[in-house]
Amino acid sequence: MNGVLLLNKPRGMTSHDCVMKVRRVLGTKKVGHTGTLDPDVDGVLPICIGSATKLVQFLTTETKEYIGEVTVGYSTTTEDASGEMVEQRPVTKVFSQAEIESTLRSMLGTSTQMPPLYSAVKVDGKKLYKYARAGIQVKRPKREVTTFELQLLGNIHQQNGLLKFKFRIHGSKGIFIRTIAVTIGEKLGYPAHMSNLTRIASGNFKLEDCVTFHEIEAGTFKLLTISEALANFPTVTVDNWVEKLVRNGVKLHDTQISPQIKDGKFLIKSKDETPLSIHEWNEERQGYVSIRGLW
């Protein structure tokens, strides 16, 4: 069994839990997910099976989209609703829709983000949440992330000292939406946390195309082929002679690739449409080199 399974991950399970369950239900060991989703988050989780596990590194680089909810008025240890309260300050100011929208617009673009203490980011080979649980202080690595879209959804709810509203966000690889929620609160002048989150898209994979574990167990699901999973990659079809060079890992020259693609990775297929490899232009070697064979 080979292909990409688009799973609608349920809440209460880690991404690793989902991989283990897929292995058990489908009776196959070669399974890997393409990006960690926290246990409290549901939504799109592409899972690679069989030979499609070769795609994991390429699918994890995709942008992500979420629908989330921020609760302003108190912060937590985990930056989401599962953590213990850290700071509480009732929201006394009445915020208008225009003020909230202006705050969200101010967060667009590229910024530096520090991952939450309770996250799977590794420091010296160990995940941050393991340090946090052990009460060990470590320096968290900052990362550059980009927010492409951030918009208010629905009404603003303000009562009992809390301010709540939903938002839709489209961000780069590695962006922490929990931290986005905390930053929203900071910009409004209050502690905050992310109180709800659903991933609605990962690259070209949409929530409406995902299946549940119930459907998987019932056998009513379809795996995406490698070509379908890489549908957003530029594609070059080569003749039989170049196919042999690709399979042998030989550097390719300009005359062997048409159209020429010198910016980013692309998919090479054989004349019979078989995916062969992911290639990219290497300026130093002055040729096209294989990043990953797919046969």
Residues in contact with 133: Cβ distance below 8 Å, sequence separation at least 6, in sequence order = none
Residues in contact with 46: Cβ distance below 8 Å, sequence separation at least 6, in sequence order = 4, 5, 6, 7, 33, 34, 35, 59, 202, 205, 229
Per DSSP, the three-state class of 15 is helix
Distance from C-alpha of 69 to C-alpha of 197, rounded to nearest angstrom? 6
**Gyration radius of the chain over CA positions:** 22
Told to judge if 38 belongs to the known catalytic residues of this protein, a careful annotator would answer yes
Distance from C-alpha of 82 to C-alpha of 87, rounded to nearest angstrom? 15
Assign 3-class secondary structure to 162-173. Answer: EEEEEEEEEECC
Residues in contact with 142: Cβ distance below 8 Å, sequence separation at least 6, in sequence order = 112, 113, 114
**Alpha helix positions (H), the chain:** 15-26, 56-59, 97-105, 128-133, 177-188, 213-218, 226-229, 240-247
Distance from C-alpha of 127 to C-alpha of 175, rounded to nearest angstrom? 17
Q: Kindly report the number of other CB atoms within 10 A of residue 175's CB atom.
A: 23
Distance from C-alpha of 160 to C-alpha of 250, rounded to nearest angstrom? 67
**Would strands 42-49 and 192-202 be described as parallel, antiparallel, or unpaired?**
parallel
Helices 177-188 + 97-105 axis angle, to 10: 120
Q: Which residues does the annotation mark as catalytic? A: 38
